[in-house]
Chain A
């Protein structure tokens, strides 16, 4: 079972990703935590050590790029999928340079999220 954490300031997105994590095309995922900002995500990450993280970028307290860099510093093997509405190339490159393995644009379809999760877990 793969440990997963969801980071997004929108409850509707956290709930949706949680539901989609049960998709039969995915390996069995155990949602060990969810956070609405980067600072909380770092605390949960230290306690639960998820192997897979979905990461929003625009969040209060600590944004997703900074949080991605911190999580990768703690565990370089973590697979982080950025899920963000910020669709400019500069932002995507910055997220990848800070350790994200993939970038999925919001708004996303159910299939797009499932496929993106499969890709970052390879």
Chain B
């Protein structure tokens, strides 16, 4: 097993920045990307969308965000349906997009599932990757959200493409223990 490195994590930081920029023309503030404190998950923020990873990797990527942020994103795309189901659908699509975009860097050996979504205290997640996950802490319009990257390489693998160039508005990212 091999842990992801800083360049690998940068891929997810850039993906979430790109996501907000494309949908809203307003980049989020990346407050940090850090290793999770052992045994302490980030706070669940009402809605969670998760993707299971397989192939040359194992683990999961998930996004957890508050209802207000997700409703705001729906408004930004002129979506009139802001129901519970529409919000679940959106957070699943967000997780799918972030994981899918990571294949630019990791290649097709990163196989991704369809999204698993949940809300409230009943958080449903795919199996973990077995290593300490990275947490990308995101702030957008004063709302906080987290992207959790819980992935390990499951065999010999080298990246097939360079990471996406740093996006405009991306804050400095620190790597280390929270």
Mask: chain A, 74-106; 1 = CB below 8 Å from B; 0 = not: 000000000011111111000000000000011
Say whether A10 contacts B77, CB under 8 Å.
no
B81 within 8 A of A: yes
Say whether A10 contacts B79, CB under 8 Å.
no
Cα A98 to Cα B106 with chains together (Å): 23
Query: What is the minimal beta-carbon distance from A118 to any residue of chain B, in angstroms?
Result: 19
Instruction: Determine the main DSSP class of A at the interface with B.
Output: loop
Say whether B101 contacts A87, CB under 8 Å.
yes
Contact residues in A for B19 (Cβ distance below 8 Å): 107
Cα A11 to Cα B91 with chains together (Å): 11
Residue pairs across A and B with CB atoms within 8 Å: the count is: 68
B139 within 8 A of A: no
Cα A91 to Cα B107 with chains together (Å): 9
Say whether A58 contacts B100, CB under 8 Å.
yes
The residue in A9, A60, A84, A85 that gathers the most chain B C-beta atoms within 10 A of its C-beta is A85
A48 within 8 A of B: no
Cα A58 to Cα B19 with chains together (Å): 18
**Interface residue ranges, A against B (CB under 8 Å):** 9-13, 15-16, 19, 58-60, 84-91, 105-109
Beyond contacts A12-B89, A90-B107: 7 other A-B pairs, Cβ-Cβ < 8 A, are A11-B86, A12-B90, A15-B79, A16-B78, A85-B99, A86-B103, A107-B22
